[in-house]
Chain A
Amino acid sequence: MARSPALGLCAVLSGAVLACEAERPSSLVADRDAEAVTDALAPTADGALETEGFRPDGQWLLFMQDRYCLYAAGQSTDFLVWVWYLVDLSPLGPGASPDQLYLRQRMKMCAEEQSPVVGGLQTFVPAAIPANLPERIVDAFALGRARGDAWLSQELVELWGLNDDIGVDEPLPESPDDPHVVDQDGDGEPGVTLTVGNNFCDVHIVQRTRYRLSGELVSGHRIEGTLWSEVDKNILSATLPFCAASNQLEPRPDGSRAVLQRVDGKNGGVNLDTNSDGEVDCAEILAGRERLVADGVVTQDRPDAVRCR
């Protein structure tokens, strides 16, 4: 009997302890439906020169990495811009010898990405901008069809928020009321609207970019080369004064490069035609970006903290 109170107390304590152990609840919220992603991106024979050699046809990806030192807020930052173009290639005719080719390149910008700059802020180019840019036709010249033969492209001029009437060397408008300024992305604001940070601010700009490309054939489905560019930009307005602050870009050609990669799955090229409709479009290019980078088809450098100091 002397042990009864202790046993009783133990029973109470044990009961209380058992009643209070938490058990992990199951999730009563169902997974949100996700669209199935078809993986049709595997390169067929990347890296090897085809016996057939270079063929001036099909659909290609032009990937450009442009590198600058950006001077803003009293500091200089390594600044990278990555541009993705879909290129339809067709022959224009032979050159002075049967191996030389004149090429027609119908170029459509799919996306542009920029590396973070001041204070870690990153500028985003909304998809509406490339979606509303017209297709550009740029001719090129290939000095042969074998590995190491040169490829030269005419200048590509891309205009953002501007009509095509503006001359290549004409100063950019500074006023939203200038007749050259158009609401290209259709958001009701003049020029085009870039988003800084996660909705930190919006910047309305006009911009002219001139690209000059040259390179050489490294395989029947791949051309690697160098890139020269010149960016002329005016900020028309911004939702925060900080975002309207001017900056200066100094090109760093040693970090700039271009790759023209066949992506229609033919002649040994990568196949980005995920819906198998016989055509590669920008959506398929964008959906395949991560895989292209992961497979080393294109290489995106990361900003170097000391490069521009």
Chain B
Amino acid sequence: MNKTTLALSLLWTTLLLSPSVATANVYEVFGAGARAQGMGGALTAAATDASAVWHNPAGLTLSKPSLSVGFGGAFDRTAILLAPRPAGYDPPAYSTRLSPRSDSRDQGPILGVSLGLNLRLLADDLRFGAMVYLPSEGLAHTQGYFANERQQYFDNRLRFERLEERLRAEVLAAALSYRAADWLSFGVGLMAQSSAKNLTRVYTPNAADPSQVDMTIALEQAFETALSAGAQVQPWRFLRFGLALRDELSFDVRGRSEVQIAGQEGVEPYPVVQPIALTEHVTVPRIHLGTALLTDKWTVTLDGSYDLWSRYRDAQANLANFNDGYTVSTGFEYTVRPGTRVRGGAGWHPSPVPDQTGRTNFVDNDRVVVSVGSGNSFRLFEQDFEIDLGLQVHALLARSVTKQLPAKPAVCTTNTTQLCDELADARVDTPLFSAAETRGLQTGNPGFPGYSSGGYMLVAGTDVRWVF
């Protein structure tokens, strides 16, 4: 068995053993590192520094060992504007919700620090790499959300499902890369995401006063992992192909709350057991194909990915019924003079989210990415350094949604997919509402009767890399 066969076998075995766990993050949306950001994220066949850990682990062997630190941020100018609610559809006490129904604008800057490592192991052909992204919000940041009428009881607004919180997640990734031949490299990687198990026990000593509770919380922190793998083939000096696979990963909180009320010990249904299932930052499985055209001065890349968005789960761990989708991106790098490079790129990221005319409000837009960047080499303290800059504009093409009014609205249950009735038709009048007021659709769904979304994000990043 030669080295190539051995490497292929290892790669195949790794993919077969890939665990089926389910995070999106800044690397997925903006690209890993300032170079990737400057080239539209199209680096499947051209990632060479530590960013290869994310874009294609096979690329680690194609550059010198290095240690990098980066800083990046995104300025958010997106908006979700809600259509005015028509009269006559309010459920009882709708005006007393904790938060009034409101638009979503400018969700605040997204800031973070990135660390990268590309290290030689035993031989130059065997490399270890790691990439870590630490968001300014800290680790394990979560923000639960209901993408349907239940959100009216919380902040009562809509969110961009594939942006917002998903861009505030940490990224932990490491990879091994082996260069089997001058024209062939392989790599396998591991991505990690924190998860938690939670058991909350609540005792209510005064059943008449829910504000008084005795509570114990048992929290177990753990990590979910997912595998990545990649290969790069360079049959000719001027042409390189790349293939990269990434499994799914997510931040999961599982557990339960047990609630006991004084005086109800031993009485059904106490203690009430409330299951907890929270899933966030879902990264779906992806396959990336890329090609790079290489000359002395130019590197031109073209990438495409196929993304299994049909496996995307919402915050309650339910399948969101998205469509599988694709992305296309391209980039270039031009060496102006030795040690100085300029970059550019563009990308098309169509939305995998179908029109939300029913119960759910997964807000998502087709996205156009345009990017520019630069790279400079310099020496300091007799050491080689590189500095990269990347700038991107993500334009979210405006999209409007109008909810469809069902002819005979069904009462909201777990499986209801159409816009649903929150108040079953009553047979008799009650002091709260008359039977006539319960006829037809009553909904406090914040997405009803419709909404528009769009806007843009400005993204900037810089990396300083020590090459040794």
Chain A interface residues toward B at CB < 8 A: 9, 12-13, 16-17, 19-34, 72-77, 111-113, 117-120, 124-128, 185, 187, 195, 198-199, 240-242, 245, 305
Provide the residues of chain B in CB contact with A32, threshold 8 Å: 86-89, 440
In the complex the two chains form, is B456's CB within 8 Å of A16's CB?
yes
In the complex the two chains form, is A75's CB within 8 Å of B262's CB?
yes
Residue of B nearest to A16 (CB): B395
Residue of B nearest to A5 (CB): B344
> Could you give, for residues 447-461 of chain B, a 1 whenever the CB lies within 8 Å of some chain A CB and a 0 otherwise?
011111111100000
In the complex the two chains form, is A124's CB within 8 Å of B86's CB?
no
Shortest beta-carbon distance from A107 to chain B in Å: 19
In the complex the two chains form, is A27's CB within 8 Å of B456's CB?
no
Provide the residues of chain B in CB contact with A33, threshold 8 Å: 88
Provide the residues of chain B in CB contact with A31, threshold 8 Å: 86-88
Report the 5 A-B pairs with minimum CB-CB distance, sorted nearest first.
A32-B88, A74-B263, A127-B429, A22-B454, A73-B263
**A114 to B374 alpha-carbon distance, docked (Å):** 71
In the complex the two chains form, is A27's CB within 8 Å of B208's CB?
no
Shortest beta-carbon distance from A177 to chain B in Å: 25
**A111 to B432 alpha-carbon distance, docked (Å):** 11
| B450 contact from A27, A112, A198, Cβ within 8 A | A27
In the complex the two chains form, is A22's CB within 8 Å of B208's CB?
no
In the complex the two chains form, is A242's CB within 8 Å of B395's CB?
no
Residue of A nearest to B451 (CB): A25
In the complex the two chains form, is B393's CB within 8 Å of A17's CB?
yes
In the complex the two chains form, is A21's CB within 8 Å of B431's CB?
no
Residue of B nearest to A6 (CB): B372
In the complex the two chains form, is A22's CB within 8 Å of B87's CB?
no
Provide the residues of chain A in CB contact with B429, threshold 8 Å: 126-128
Provide the residues of chain A in CB contact with B339, threshold 8 Å: none
In the complex the two chains form, is B430's CB within 8 Å of A119's CB?
no
In the complex the two chains form, is B405's CB within 8 Å of A29's CB?
yes
Q: How many residues of B contact A (CB 8 A)?
A: 60
**B400 interfacial contact with A, CB 8 Å:** yes
**A111 to B430 alpha-carbon distance, docked (Å):** 9
**A209 to B345 alpha-carbon distance, docked (Å):** 81
Provide the residues of chain A in CB contact with B430, threshold 8 Å: 124-127, 195
**A240 to B272 alpha-carbon distance, docked (Å):** 13
Q: B85, B261, B270, B403 — which one has the most chain A CB atoms within 10 A of its CB?
A: B261
In the complex the two chains form, is B449's CB within 8 Å of A22's CB?
no
> Could you give, for residues 81-124 of chain B, a 1 whenever the CB lies within 8 Å of some chain A CB and a 0 otherwise?
11111111100100000000001000000000000000000000
Shortest beta-carbon distance from A198 to chain B in Å: 8
Q: A24-B103, A118-B261 are known; give 11 further A-B pairs, CB within 8 A.
A: A12-B370, A17-B456, A20-B454, A28-B449, A29-B403, A29-B449, A118-B208, A119-B208, A127-B428, A127-B429, A127-B434
Shortest beta-carbon distance from B163 to chain A in Å: 13
Residue of A nearest to B204 (CB): A119
**A73 to B207 alpha-carbon distance, docked (Å):** 7
Residue of A nearest to B366 (CB): A20
**B264 interfacial contact with A, CB 8 Å:** yes
| B81 contact from A16, A22, A117, A128, Cβ within 8 A | A22
Q: A21, A23, A187 — which one has the most chain B CB atoms within 10 A of its CB?
A: A21
| A13 contact from B83, B393, B398, B450, Cβ within 8 A | B393
The answer to whether A20 and B264 touch (CB under 8 A), given A25-B81, A119-B208, is: no
**A124 to B431 alpha-carbon distance, docked (Å):** 7
In the complex the two chains form, is B83's CB within 8 Å of A26's CB?
yes
In the complex the two chains form, is A23's CB within 8 Å of B452's CB?
yes
In the complex the two chains form, is B405's CB within 8 Å of A128's CB?
no
**B138 interfacial contact with A, CB 8 Å:** no
**A199 to B427 alpha-carbon distance, docked (Å):** 13
Provide the residues of chain A in CB contact with B88, threshold 8 Å: 31-34
**A189 to B404 alpha-carbon distance, docked (Å):** 39
**B206 interfacial contact with A, CB 8 Å:** yes
In the complex the two chains form, is A125's CB within 8 Å of B449's CB?
no
In the complex the two chains form, is A29's CB within 8 Å of B86's CB?
yes
In the complex the two chains form, is A75's CB within 8 Å of B87's CB?
no
In the complex the two chains form, is A21's CB within 8 Å of B454's CB?
yes
Provide the residues of chain A in CB contact with B92, threshold 8 Å: 198
**A112 to B431 alpha-carbon distance, docked (Å):** 8
In the complex the two chains form, is A119's CB within 8 Å of B83's CB?
no
The answer to whether A242 and B268 touch (CB under 8 A), given A16-B368, A77-B208, A126-B429, is: yes
Chain B interface residues toward A at CB < 8 A: 79-89, 92, 103, 204, 206-210, 261-264, 267-270, 365, 368, 370, 372, 393, 395-403, 405, 424, 427-432, 434, 440, 448-456
Residue of B nearest to A32 (CB): B88
Residue of A nearest to B442 (CB): A32
**A31 to B449 alpha-carbon distance, docked (Å):** 11
The answer to whether A73 and B86 touch (CB under 8 A), given A20-B456, A21-B398, is: no
Provide the residues of chain B in CB contact with A25, threshold 8 Å: 81, 83, 400-402, 450-452
Shortest beta-carbon distance from B125 to chain A in Å: 40
Shortest beta-carbon distance from A116 to chain B in Å: 9
Q: 30 A-B contacts, Cβ less than 8 Å apart?
A: A9-B372, A16-B456, A20-B396, A20-B456, A22-B454, A24-B81, A24-B82, A24-B103, A24-B452, A25-B451, A27-B84, A27-B85, A28-B83, A29-B448, A29-B449, A72-B207, A73-B208, A75-B263, A77-B208, A113-B431, A118-B261, A120-B210, A124-B430, A125-B431, A126-B428, A126-B429, A127-B430, A198-B92, A242-B264, A245-B267
In the complex the two chains form, is B398's CB within 8 Å of A23's CB?
yes
Provide the residues of chain A in CB contact with B450, threshold 8 Å: 25, 27-28
Shortest beta-carbon distance from B351 to chain A in Å: 13
Provide the residues of chain B in CB contact with A23, threshold 8 Å: 81, 398, 452
| B208 contact from A16, A30, A76, A195, Cβ within 8 A | A76
Q: B206, B365, B397, B424 — which one has the most chain A CB atoms within 10 A of its CB?
A: B206
| A74 contact from B262, B365, B403, Cβ within 8 A | B262
Shortest beta-carbon distance from A258 to chain B in Å: 19
In the complex the two chains form, is A17's CB within 8 Å of B395's CB?
yes
| B455 contact from A20, A113, A187, Cβ within 8 A | A20
**A124 to B88 alpha-carbon distance, docked (Å):** 23
**A9 to B343 alpha-carbon distance, docked (Å):** 13
Shortest beta-carbon distance from B265 to chain A in Å: 9
In the complex the two chains form, is A305's CB within 8 Å of B267's CB?
no
The answer to whether A119 and B210 touch (CB under 8 A), given A9-B372, A22-B455, A242-B269, is: yes
In the complex the two chains form, is B402's CB within 8 Å of A117's CB?
no
Provide the residues of chain A in CB contact with B83, threshold 8 Å: 24-28
Shortest beta-carbon distance from B260 to chain A in Å: 11
In the complex the two chains form, is A26's CB within 8 Å of B84's CB?
yes
The answer to whether A19 and B398 touch (CB under 8 A), given A27-B84, A29-B86, is: yes
